[in-house]
Structure 1
Amino acid sequence: MTEHPRSDSTVFVIDDDAAVRTVLKVLFESVGLHVQLFASGNTFLEAPVMDTPCCLVLDVRLPGMSGLKLQEELIKAEVNVPIIFLTAHGDIHMAVGAMKAGAVDFLTKPFRNQDVLDAVYAALEQDGTRRRKEQSSSTIRERFESLSPRERDVVARVAAGVLNKQIAAELGLSEVTVKVHRAKAMRKMHAKSLAELVRMTDFAHSE
């Protein structure tokens, strides 16, 4: 089941038809979503980037840059905003291309309100999940960077399955000191178990 989006979620609507923009604004605001309207892709690109869960409801035919071209530019710029295409001028080839490039949905006008809302809810949930994963990854990296060089030496060997006695011999430490470094590293990493510490260490090294 799709979760109800957060109250700070924003839907960006890009459509050159003012009437369509108004209808969509009323629809999204009726379910508590924030809405920002744009008449072209260029005006959207010039707007400030919002750091909240969001998605883009995008027409295909636009003045200047087409909706499909805007999708391409956002991908190149690594802007990870989920896109829902909403158009009166789509075809199967267009829809397949848009979906292969990562669009959440490709809907046609005239549209059913519930179909649009379902697509927007799915897109916002997708964006929220991505943001939570990125935040978690960032937290792990920050915690790993807080370890001292010696703590990193110890946890790297722990993650590789080396026993405390062997770690002590390799690093010229006592076994007790190795255990102290490992315990400190677990506290700094907020690891609840040795297995979790190993997973976090592997992730930090993979990054």
Structure 2
Amino acid sequence: MLAEAVVHIVDDDPVVLESIGLLIMSVDLPYRTYSSAADFLAANQGGINNGCLILDVRMPGMGGLELQDFLNTAKLEIPIIFISGHSDIPIAVRAMKHGAIEFLQKPFAQDDLLDAVNNAFAMNRQRQEEASASEDIDGKLKLLSPRELEISHLLVEGLSAKEIGKRLSISPRTVEYHRKNVLEKTNLRSVVSLAGLIAQAGDEFRS
């Protein structure tokens, strides 16, 4: 399960940190503030909490774009909302190409920032639902024995019980027995449904 959704705010200007913090607090969302990218990384060494990151572009030391690159390289997924006091289209384009969900120029409308935060939280919910669905799919296939999984792939390829039996040197009746067990274990009604399940499964079950 994902951790509590938190709005992380990184900016070297304490006035900006306070004003955004008050805005986020006004809509009853938890938030944390950091005066530098280094402080943010130090405080989240165990992983980034579910939520979003409001990130200033230009800061002493590691800037916002560099922090974005670091998070991407480390495969730490968190929606990023950039804020900047400079109108720099190339920087905005770069940030969006690297996965930012919004780029707001200071001073920005409060509603625009709150809309971006809401979009980020919606993305997190969708990601959680997709992850849960994936875990459920893989969990069903983990119930199968190696032989059942092997026969499942052959069934999905369209082979008949007789053809599978010949390939595996077992009787068609044994194939049908395994087919029945596979459908019961996965709570499916047909090979067509089984094909759909395998298509959505992790790599270990699709090879």
TM-score (norm 2): 0.87
> 1:124 deviation in Å?
1.6
> 1:166 deviation in Å?
1.9
Please say if residues 36 and 60 of structure 2, whose CA atoms lie closer than 8 Å, have aligned partners that are also in contact.
Answer: yes
> 1:202 deviation in Å?
3.1
Residue 34 (structure 1) aligns with: 30
The alignment status of 1:145 with 2:104, answered yes or no, reads no
Structure 2 counterpart of 1:59, from 56, 59, 67: 56
Cα 1:132/1:76, change in 2 over 3 Å: same
User: Which ranges in structure 1 are unaligned for 5 or more consecutive residues?
Assistant: 1-5
The alignment partner of 1:11 has SS state of strand
Cα 1:31/1:182, change in 2 over 3 Å: farther
The alignment status of 1:83 with 2:80, answered yes or no, reads yes
Please say if residues 53 and 128 of structure 1, whose CA atoms lie closer than 8 Å, have aligned partners that are also in contact.
Answer: no
Residue 15 (structure 2) aligns with: 19
User: Which ranges in structure 2 are unaligned for 5 or more consecutive residues?
Assistant: none
Residue 126 (structure 1) aligns with: 123
Output the CA distance in 1 between the equivalents of 2:3 and 2:139: 28
Output the CA distance in 2 between the equivalents of 1:140 and 1:100: 32
Cα 1:90/1:68, change in 2 over 3 Å: farther
Output the CA distance in 1 between the equivalents of 2:49 and 2:185: 28
Cα 1:43/1:7, change in 2 over 3 Å: closer
The alignment partner of 1:107 has SS state of strand
Moved more, 34-43 or 134-143: 134-143
- What is the aligned residue count? 202
Residue 44 (structure 1) aligns with: 40
Give the share of equivalent positions with the same residue, in percent.
37
Moved more, 49-58 or 32-41: 49-58
Cα 1:189/1:41, change in 2 over 3 Å: farther
Residue 194 (structure 1) aligns with: 191
1:43 is aligned with what amino acid?
D
